[in-house]
Structure 1
Amino acid sequence: MRLKMKSRKIMLFVIIASLVYGQNKKLTFQQAFYFGQPRLTKSLPQIKGWLDDEHYFELSVRDGKSIIEKVNVENNEREVYLDYSQIGLPEGFNLDEAVINNDSYTKFIFERDNDLYYLSVEDNLFKKLTDDKAEEKNPKFSPDGKKVAYTKENNLYYYDIENEIERRLTDDGSDLVYNGRASWVYMEEILGRSTNYAAFWWAPDSRKISFLRFDDSPVPEFILVKADGQHGSIEKQRYPKAGDPNPFVKLGIADLEKNNIVWADFPDDNDQYIAWPVWTRDSQLTVQWMNRQQDTIKIYSIDVKDGSKRLLHTEHQKTWVEWFEDIYFMKNNPGFIIRTGLDGYYHLYLYDGKGKLLKKLTEGADINVTSLELVDEKNNLVYFEGWSNNSTERHLFVVNMNNNKIVKLTDKPGTHACNLSPNGKYFIDRFSCINTPPALLLYEANGELIREIGNSKSDIFDEYDLPKAQLFKIKTEDGYDLPALWYLPEDLDSTKKYPVLISIYGGPNAPTVRNSFPYRLEPQFLAQNGIIYMSVDHRGSGHFGKAGTDLMHRNLGKWEMHDYIEAVKWLRKLPFVDTAKIAINGGSYGGYVTALALTSAPGYFNYGIAEFGVMDWMLYDNVYTERYMDTPDENPDGYRKSSVLNYAENYKGGMLIIHGTMDDNVHMQNSIQLIDKLQRLNKEFEMMFYPNQRHGIRFPHYFHAQKTIAEFIFKNLLNKELATD
């Protein structure tokens, strides 16, 4: 009886879906995969930050010339704040090419031939700062705008602009020792790619710089090979794989006036992580420490005079802890706010200056905080983004620190990414949902709409018969409601059979099912051509809080496969699904999951595109891998069960393997070892390697990669050639 009722619901679902399509224009391959013309979406206005609580900056291009306008929030009056064409620069310099600027767009730094140049718009001054052969990396203005710090030959420097003096703060930089420049594994897994390896931070008073010093000498070396030219070349990389030694790391505080360095009092131990130094009020310094096991994190206050430390906070979890990346230290009184998933969902907690918990600011499994956005200390308000009840959405909320009252400020179902004015009086919302392209909207802090700033929906968007996305849930046998999304072929005939492509990522706390418009029109194009395009997230993908993600501890691959198989079982019950043509694809972690699906569960997945994936966790970096798996010595059974290589003999065919030859994140070694195993077993597969490409295939090989993937899909799921014109 339950099966019959479910079938009726599915059939009604399909009938309703088929009625929404008209007889309009169809997408071409060029539009879907190459961003080809005519474009169905257009660029949104470029908001470049807030000048104050009443004005924001918007960058526009007129007649090929860039202009920054100061826009009045209330009346939309616009004033040209900076006309790039009116700035006198020497020949060959262009303001669009400045590498950094201050928040008010009055000071700029340029790089040319490994030297730095400075522009002050206010003073109508342009001058060269450095003059040597060494490259200055990651220049950063001091808060007062009078100095610029950077690294050079792995030493930390700063330049005094007024006095025209360059000073070197460290002197032991080398091929293995980096001052203010991150070791690879710290950049990738701890500080983040957006830092571009920068590992130094100005104090608010512009008198000191905190920095991390790395010694990579214990870290094993990995060789990347370029095949260019007659003899080729090699690139050496210090890359610690699972179980390998880490770099030694120290926290230094450089005093620019005293011209000395104070080192924080941590043991000289490479089985620890030190990161995320934060300058607080009155230029006091804090830093976070984590053990090698990554199950304990501590926040210390550092005395900048002698390097002694005082413990502020400790957190321990049975699985793993996470860095407090959006920690906020109060400016008007001692205390701080952190975001943690300690109780199973991510919440905000308020502590006093001595580290005593004052209160939990957010409460309940119906609220999950994804980021802390702004703290209005004057009015005791904390703005944060997250979700409430519906994990596929993102909204802006505010909580009152006095009474813990939470108000949701965005109400449209979908994904909201908000940029608040300095004191939270207004916010700009980048909003989209599954069938609506992104728009920029301006709101008052209470959620009252002021106006639409821009919309990416083009004038021809409605002329196209785009298949509509639908969100739903798939219940597992043990009671999890897995979020899912699909695009059904238009005019779907329930008496026919349709192939399915499941697109996934699959990593811990990394959902792919979101109520947001897709970056590319690939899903609509494939559905338009008769393929059911689907995404589904497993129980560890973040929809079920930290408690759900914790299930992945010491057994990567287990719950991913369990839940993706559950999704296939659900698909098999649908009368219009071709169960012999169920494909899966993904990149990076998704490449791992794809290869694991084709080898460990070939009875459920018939085809797959595994892009630059980890094939054995012994081959990936230790910070990421050990966070979830512990070390190979501590968890040998988990590493064995999670390895794609150990299931290769089960593989029945139908896989395309893609990798860049210079991938310095997931080494091509991963795909090579899988290929070697498949060849030894006399298994059939396809592969495509891209010379000199790193992690992800980009230009100039991007178009070839997209065409290769699309052709594979059409050949195997539709038994026909792809029309690319």
Structure 2
Amino acid sequence: MRKLILLGTACTLLLAASFSSTAQKKDFSYDQLFKNAAPNISKPLPVIRGWVDDEHYIELQKDAEGKTAFVAVEVKTGKSKPYTGPVPAEPRQQAVPAIGISDARNITTSPDGKWVAYTRKDNNLYAMDLATKNVTQITKDGSETILNGYASWVYYEEILGRASRYKAFWWSPDSKRISYMRFDDAQVPVFPIYVLDGQNGYLENERYPKAGEKNPEVKIGIATIENGTTVWADFNPKDDQYFGAPFWTPEGQFWVQWMNRGQDHLTIYNIDFASGAKKEVYAEEQKTWIDLDEGSRIEFLSAGKGFILKSDKDGWENLYYHDATGKLINQVTTGTLWGTAITKIDEKAKLIYFRARKENSARFDFYKVGLDGKGLTRLSFGDFSHDQINLSPNGKYFITTYSNLSTPTTMALADARGKLIRVLGDSKGSDFDTYALPKTELVRVKSGDGVFDLPVTITYPLNFDPNKKYPVLISIYGGPNAGTVYDRWRPAGGATQWWAQEGIIQVAFDNRSSGHFGKVGLNYIHRQLGKWEIEDYMSCGKWLRKQAWVDTTKVAMTGGSFGGYMTCMALTYGADVFTHGVANAAVTDWQFYDTHYTERFMDTPQENPEGYKNTAVIAYAEKYKGLLRIVHGTSDDNVHMQNSLTLIDKLQNLGKHFEMMVYPGERHGIGGNNMKKGQHNRNEAYAFWYQYLLGKPMPAAFTSSSTDSGRRGF
């Protein structure tokens, strides 16, 4: 691990020397950074689309006339020849057939291509025979509060995931059945969102269960397409429980993930098609919580040969080999792995290939290990993060895309031992060495309790002089298992480049719950979500304030959603460390957020009243003394504006000065409904940094151009 150590005159001279090389290079213009007029700083890497066999990979190349075509490239020589065989499909959303039903949602083709399933605005589930256009209506009780195959909000946001687009039905591999979830929202509290349209405006009533409130009642159905009948899985919908995304196994069995409301017991059941009876396949219990993921928990071997399960029950994300009945055969990996993701299971060779963070928590590496847990081998090379892997069919070679903070993204070919064969391409464009790019370092700062070395990235201004003092802008998120500090290349340009040219030190922190320290670190936040996170950020902030080159009157933080919460905590709980902040769409009190997310970490407000009280921003509002700008969209259906209004009300009653910006009609991501408002929000934040960090007006270019893309972040 490289560390930046700043002690004494020698290190000051070293820093000065390391930044002097940028003095003779050009700066970027406003148009280059914000109007997509950037020079050739970067270039695309080769497009690899899989393998012909273990000796040839498939690449998409351009010919002399600029036309693209696939070629097969020989591994040993690099020579290519035209290729017209099958090409693995690119990851993309399934093509949607035209079925002539205007309100059809989530149209999904069956595995055999003969049927489509979909829901309609009546909240019923349908299947259509594509050859005859005959429609089978699977459910008939859909209503405003009964949703068949279409997710209730809390399931969409927290369990099935936004990528589901509310889809809550799944075809069986043989195309004969559809499993689906039926949601009853009748007892879920309604949260009213005021919309200003029209003379009187109107209320958008959202079924949103806040912490401790009633969840939707859920049933799991298995419908037979031939006759449209449904068999219900043997669960009581009145129970306080959650269901994760189900699995159809290679054997054609249907497995359901069940979890108690406390989210510390997980059971996977095999459901009988005929009766709905359930049989336990796997069970897990933890003292804090278990994540009910979106389906990546299990990777199946071929029919009858079992499955590999990923779990963090030992404090880290390790792999476990089970037979087809769920019986544990052996633990495959041990140790401090995180972000573990299987690339390939080679059943013939009895090997598992996977990526994980192990050697360095800020980098991904590529590994192989035997199904029996023996022979763990690192295949990736160097001090890099290997973020994309393309493995040959039998594991003889792999193509890796890798980088670190000082090495632009590169693609290379390596053999089964991880030996580099040749570089296939790098992302450095022809003008890369012409422009001055900021230097970024990764350091580790000891947590206040002495337990963790917290990762911090620092991007220095161009022509950095360690004898000068600079303002600091800290950009964070901070949510559980959502770290932002990685030792990987950051594409040149955008806002990062701009602020480096303007003279701002840009920083990112990760706390103990970020994933760098596995579930071991995450467990600290149980029943006190936000406490250790802000304590860790304060430790990092105090370290920054001790550096001779930091202007301690200008240590600012910004973030959105959970990052907005952290920013509000920084300006209240951490008011002695942080001086300025812009908080976007912030949670300010966990009682205002949804059941599944909040209770996973906090339990219910009824079970943990002190935890909710001690993690609410208003509990520390009296400490506020810097300057906070609060930003929220009035139609935010995820983090309701109630959060910001509650904090504003408290600050007003305390007579505190703050700034506020409201965006009428905007949702959780400001600019999602109106690009001009997104650009306005960016410009307002920039004006804030110019005024309070740089002490000068914002350049007119930011407000004079209506064609500014406004899409390069804060």
In the superposition, the TM-score normalised over structure 2's length comes to 0.88
Q: Secondary structure at the match of 1:494?
A: coil
d(CA) in 1 for partners of 2:92, 2:495: 42
In 2, Cα distance between the equivalents of 1:61 and 1:588? 47
Residue 722 of structure 1 aligns with an amino acid whose one-letter code is M
Q: 2:370 aligns with which of 375, 400, 403?
A: 400
Q: 1:410 to 1:185 in 2, by over 3 A?
A: same
Q: CA deviation at 1:241?
A: 0.7
Distance of aligned partners of 1:10 and 1:179 in 2 relative to their CA distance in 1, 3 Å threshold: farther
Which position in structure 1 is the counterpart of 2:335? 364
Of 491, 513, 531, the residue aligned with 2:485 is 513
Q: Which residue of 1 aligns with 2:104?
A: 136
1:640 match: secondary structure:
helix
CA contact (8 A) 1:498 1:577 kept: yes
Rate the CA distance shift 1:399–1:244 in 2: closer, same or farther, 3 A. same
Residue number in structure 2 paired with 1:187:
156
The Cα shift of 1:45 comes to 6.1
Map of 1:14 onto structure 2:
15
Is the contact made by 1:68 and 1:81 (CA closer than 8 Å) also made in structure 2? Answer: no
Higher mean C-alpha deviation, range 232-241 or range 207-216: 232-241
Answer with 147-156 or 697-706: which moved more.
697-706
Structure 1 residue 409 displacement after superposition = 2.5
Aligned-partner SS, 1:276: coil
In the TM superposition, what whole-angstrom CA distance separates every residue of 1:101-129 from its partner, at most 9, and x where no partner exists? x959999745xxxxx51xxxxxxxxxxx2
Partner of 2:180: 211
Given the alignment of the two structures, is residue 266 of structure 1 paired with residue 235 of structure 2, yes or no? yes
The answer to whether the 8 A contact 1:52-1:421 is kept is: no
The one-letter amino acid paired with 2:107 is P
Q: Which moved more, 1:438-447 or 1:412-421?
A: 438-447
Equivalent in the alignment of 1:409: 379
Pair 1:697–1:72, CA change in 2 (3 A): farther
Amino acid at match of 1:560: E
The two structures have a TM-score, normalised by structure 1, of 0.87
How far does the alpha carbon of each residue in 1:666-708 deviate from its partner, in whole angstroms, 9 at most, with x for none? 1122112222222222222222222332222232422222222
Is the CA contact 1:348–1:369 (under 8 Å) kept in the aligned structure 2? no
- More divergent stretch after superposition (46-55 vs 236-245): 46-55
**1:147 and 1:55 mapped to 2: Cα distance?**
34
Amino acid at match of 2:478: G
Is the contact between residue 411 and residue 426 of structure 2 (CA under 8 Å) also seen in structure 1?
yes
Contact preservation (8 Å) 1:46, 1:60: no
SS of corresponding position for 1:282: coil
- Structure 1 residue 64, shift from structure 2 partner: 12
Change (3 A) 1:478 1:435: same
**2:6–2:12: 8 Å Cα contact kept in structure 1?**
no
Is the contact between residue 49 and residue 90 of structure 2 (CA under 8 Å) also seen in structure 1? no
Output the amino acid matched with 1:172: D
For the 8 Å contact 1:242–1:622, the answer to whether it is kept is: yes
Q: CA RMSD in A?
A: 3.1
Matches within 5 A, 1:380-399: 380-399=350-369
* Per-residue deviation, 1:269: 2.4
Structure 2 unpaired stretches of 5+:
702-714
Give the 5 Å matches for 1:278-289: 278-289=247-258
Which stretch of structure 1 is more off in the superposition, 436-445 or 603-612? 436-445
Structure 2 CA distance for partners of 1:107 and 1:187, relative to 1, 3 Å:
closer
Q: Aligned to 1:174, what secondary structure does the other structure show?
A: coil
The answer for the alignment partner of 2:650 in structure 1 is: 677
- Corresponding residue to 2:509 among 536, 540, 547: 536
From 118, 122, 126, the counterpart of 1:157: 126
Q: Pick which of 659-668 and 616-625 moved more.
A: 659-668
Q: 1:462, CA displacement in angstroms?
A: 2.1
| 1:11 alignment partner AA | T
Q: CA 1:176–1:182 in structure 2 vs 1: closer, same or farther (change >3 Å)?
A: same
Give SS of 1:609's match.
Answer: strand
AA aligned opposite 1:148: V
CA distance in 1, matches of 2:612, 2:93: 51
Letter in 2 for 1:431: Y
The aligned runs of 1:31-70 (5 Å cut-off) are 31-32=32-33, 35-38=36-39, 40-42=41-43, 69=70
Which residue identity lines up with residue 719 of structure 1 in the other structure?
Answer: G
Aligned positions of 1:524-563 closer than 5 A: 524-563=497-536
Question: Residue 113 of structure 1 corresponds to which residue in structure 2?
Answer: none
Equivalent pairs counted in the alignment come to 684
Within the candidate set 709, 715, 718, 2:685 is matched to 709
User: 1:234 and 2:197 equivalent?
Assistant: no
Partner of 2:244, secondary structure, is: strand
The code of the aligned residue for 2:698 comes to L
- 1:330 maps to which residue? 301
The answer for the alignment partner of 1:578 in structure 2 is 551
**Displacement of 1:553:** 0.4
Which digits, 9 at most, give the CA deviation of each residue in 1:378-433, with x for residues without a partner?
22111222112310011222211135212222224333233545846465544332
2:260 is the alignment partner of 1:291? yes
| Distance across 2 between alignment mates of 1:51 and 1:380 | 22
Change (3 A) 1:336 1:474: same
What runs of 5+ residues in structure 1 fail to find an aligned partner?
84-101, 111-115, 118-128
Q: What are the residue-to-residue correspondences of 1:530-679 with 2, within 5 Å? A: 530-679=503-652
Task: Look up the match of 2:345.
Answer: 375
1:250 aligns to what? 219
The one-letter code sitting in structure 1 at the alignment partner of 2:25 is N
C-alpha distance in 1 between matches for 2:333 and 2:506: 37
Structure 2 CA distance, aligned partners of 1:514 and 1:711? 29
Q: How many Å apart are 1:165 and its aligned residue?
A: 2.0
Tell me what 1:25 maps to: 26
Segment of structure 1 superposing worse, 161-170 or 228-237: 228-237
CA distance in 2, matches of 1:434, 1:250: 48
Per-residue deviation, 1:50: 7.5
- Residue 371 of structure 1 aligns with an amino acid whose one-letter code is A
Query: 1:69·1:82 contact (CA, 8 Å) conserved in 2?
Result: no
Between 281-290 and 317-326, the greater mean CA deviation after superposition: 317-326
Q: Which letter maps to 1:136?
A: A
Residue type of the alignment partner of 2:247: V
Q: Partners of 1:345 and 1:104 in 2: how far apart?
A: 31
Does residue 463 of structure 2 align to residue 468 of structure 1?
A: no
Distance 2:63 2:631 in 1: 38
Secondary structure, in 3 states, of the residue corresponding to 1:534?
Answer: strand
CA distance in 2, matches of 1:689, 1:523: 26
Shift of 1:718: 1.2
- Secondary structure of the residue aligned to 1:314 is strand
Matched residue of 2:498: which SS? helix
Pairwise CA distance, 1:570: 1.2
The equivalent position to 1:432 in structure 2, one of 399, 403, 408, is 403
Q: 1:56–1:73: 8 Å Cα contact kept in structure 2?
A: no
CA contact (8 A) 1:374 1:424 kept: no
Partners of 1:200 and 1:496 in 2: CA distance: 60
Does structure 1 retain, via aligned residues, the 8 Å contact 2:405–2:488?
yes
Map Cα deviations across residues 149-186 of structure 1 (whole Å, 9 max, x no partner). Answer: 22123222222222332222111122111111111111
* Alignment match of 1:722 (pick from 698, 706, 710): 698
- Structure 1 stretch displaced more, 286-295 or 299-308: 299-308
CA distance in 2, matches of 1:331, 1:456: 39
Alignment CA distance shift 1:339-1:632 (3 Å):
same
Give the secondary structure class of the aligned counterpart of 2:246. strand
Q: Which residue of 1 aligns with 2:113?
A: 145
In structure 2, the CA distance between the partners of 1:342 and 1:13, relative to structure 1 (3 Å rule), is: farther
